[in-house]
Amino acid sequence: MLTNDNNSSSENAKPRALCTSWLAFNDPQLALYQAREAVDAVTLDAQHGQFDYTSIVASIANIRLAGKSPIVRVPVGDFSLASRVLDAGAEAIIAPMIDDAAEARRLVEFCKYQPIGNRSWGPYLACAVTEEEPEAYRLRANASCLVIPMIESARAVDRLEEILDVAGVDGVFIGPADLSLSLSEGRDLNPLRADVVSSQKDILRICRSRGKRAWAMSVSPQNAKYLSELGFDLIALGMDVFHLQSGTRSWLAELNNCVPQALGYGR
């Protein structure tokens, strides 16, 4: 479950931030490997990644097998896919480019059952992977299947309160890359821009005032630590593509430092 438990003995300690891996590659085995790590969740990116419905279903089953929470980011406006992956056992939906309350309400319609939304009944795969009876799933679904719009534009920041006040919206996820493009009017792709950082703090404060979750994407281990210390509830630990690139580059850099130049390294 995507809840922030406080394991500290101090009454004033903040609950620790949850962490999610973020996958673009649509291999269910990779989802299993990541779910076996010390993360709380694995996010499957169907917006910018290669996931289709079949690979999402198989990956959700593997993530559940490892005892972790499956999250799916759907493509822009593809709310019908949100319903289908919830039926397959996803625990949360991240929906990109939600800019106002009307779009948030439309998202909720596909993700929450009556009386909050109008999600159609059919969570048979979800019941199988969670080993629940249908009635047990029905009773908990509206509370435990999370609806998380992305805040990644100046318009969304300006309308954050109305988005959060939509019944069925459980929190928001900050997309710092697109937010930097929006705030700079397309002039600067920089997730660490001062106005992005300031917006992150404001978004967190407003989420807290309304009792809603605040999730964020990190761009480095240092940034992840910073977001955790600010008090975000969940932090995405970068994308698998970037981890693969950085891991390869790290090995090559170490190799270049260790192997004699005569072998051709470091030229």
**CB neighbour class for 30 (10 Å; exposed up to 12, middle 13-18, buried from 19):** middle
- Are 163 and 172 in contact by the 8 Å Cβ rule? The answer is yes
Active site residue 48: yes
Q: How far apart are CA 122 and CA 178, in angstroms?
A: 34
The catalytically annotated residue of 5, 13, 48, 208 is 48
Cis peptide before 221 (omega within 30 of 0): no
236 φ/ψ angles, rounded to the nearest 5 degrees: -85, 135
Active site members: 48
